[in-house]
Structure 1
Amino acid sequence: MMTIFTDGQAEAEITESSYCWKKNSVKVEDGYLKSTGMVTHTRIPLKHIDTVVYSYNPKKPAIVPVLKIIGKGTVLCEMEISAEHIEAVQDWMLNVIES
């Protein structure tokens, strides 16, 4: 396990199978990508995930980035993740689906 601090000094615990921060967790378990906490509750088979992207919607009152999990050209899931963690979570997920 490794504890990191992002640019915004937000703490996260990262292992090969999980990325956890505050009360949120995204992990790989039994061939699924599972998330729990404030971000969302998700269970997606890893074999269906092609890539992970994020975007900001400047039209919303609170600009919160949205992480999109994409498979076969379809958005399988969207997670609102704070700006201080969005890139690190995206990098972790991309590493997981490429291995």
Structure 2
Amino acid sequence: MDYDDLANRARAALIMAAMRRSTVTYGELARAIDFDPSVPPSHHMKRVLDIVTDECDSRGEPSLAPLVVNERTGEPGKGYQPNGEAWHKSVRRCFNAWSPA
């Protein structure tokens, strides 16, 4: 499995979500990046989102990971690591960072 390729596709999909000021579910993101449907996304999505976060950090951008939510709860999954701020503030920072001007 090429995690870097999946992370690149996830980054692009999450930037589009941020520009639209919306969150995406783990399942929606898995479909958007053509994740192998025979593999449960929860087994690998954390690694993909960690790579996306590292890329955002290296660019001085807010992490896009807060935009990915559980379909039932509408909140991030158990693997989400907040960066010291409330989840909704992290989401708002994404929306502001990628706001279409």
- Please indicate, yes or no, whether the TM-score normalized by the shorter chain is above 0.5: no
Looking at both structures, which has the greater relative contact order when contacts are Cα pairs under 8 Å and sequence separation is at least 6? Answer: 2
TM-score normalized by the length of structure 2 = 0.26
TM-score normalized by the length of structure 1 = 0.26
Higher helix share: 2
